[in-house]
Amino acid sequence: MNNVVLIAHVVAAILLIGPVTVAISMFPRLALAARGGEAGTVGAARTMHAVTRTYGLFSLAVPLLGFGVMFTDIENYIKQGALHASITLTIIAWALLYFVITPKQSVMLAGLGVAGDDELPDDPDFRERAEKAAALDWEKAKGQLAMFSGIFSALWLITAVLMFFI
């Protein structure tokens, strides 16, 4: 049973965290290019934001499966410092994704006139983000999103390395 849950955990990490990492890394450049009028980049930026939101949510399966692995041999895993460090890094990575990266992407999309999948352009939340985007320094926002994307990726890389010490 442990092997099945462990395999599911590793496969979920590859299939769910990988696309989020790529999407958040590509979004800043695409959003800035879309603002500059480069053809096809508005749709690409919107797609990267959708991947960030969707796969980010589904990637919650990774730690859930990780806890499943942990509970198959709780006496062994609970003593592993690398496990506790990994859990902490995972929480930080998700907080960064949900409270920093995704909202910044939403503001940049609103600045491009793109509403989210579940809202209309006359939605008050969309208008609020569009107002924030009007005062946005796009180069700075691109740099910040790239920085936060790099931190998110580094956190997951460190977590993956720590998994080898468990």
Percent of the chain with pLDDT over 90: 63
DSSP state of 17: I
Alpha carbon distance 71, 67 (integer Å) = 6
CB 72 within 8 A of CB 41: no
pTM for this prediction: 0.89
pLDDT confidence of residue 104: 96
Percent of the chain with pLDDT over 70: 98
Q: Given a cut of 80, is residue 156 above it in pLDDT?
A: yes
Alpha carbon distance 9, 119 (integer Å) = 33
Angle between helices 61-72 and 2-12 (to 10 degrees): 160
Alpha carbon distance 97, 54 (integer Å) = 12
Give the tens place of pLDDT for each residue, 10-38: 999 999 999 999 999 999 999 999 999 99
Q: Given a cut of 90, is residue 130 above it in pLDDT?
A: no
Alpha carbon distance 78, 125 (integer Å) = 43
Q: Label residue 50 exposed, middle or buried (CB < 10 Å: 0-12, 13-18, 19+).
A: middle
Alpha carbon distance 165, 153 (integer Å) = 19
- Domain ranges in the chain are 2-163
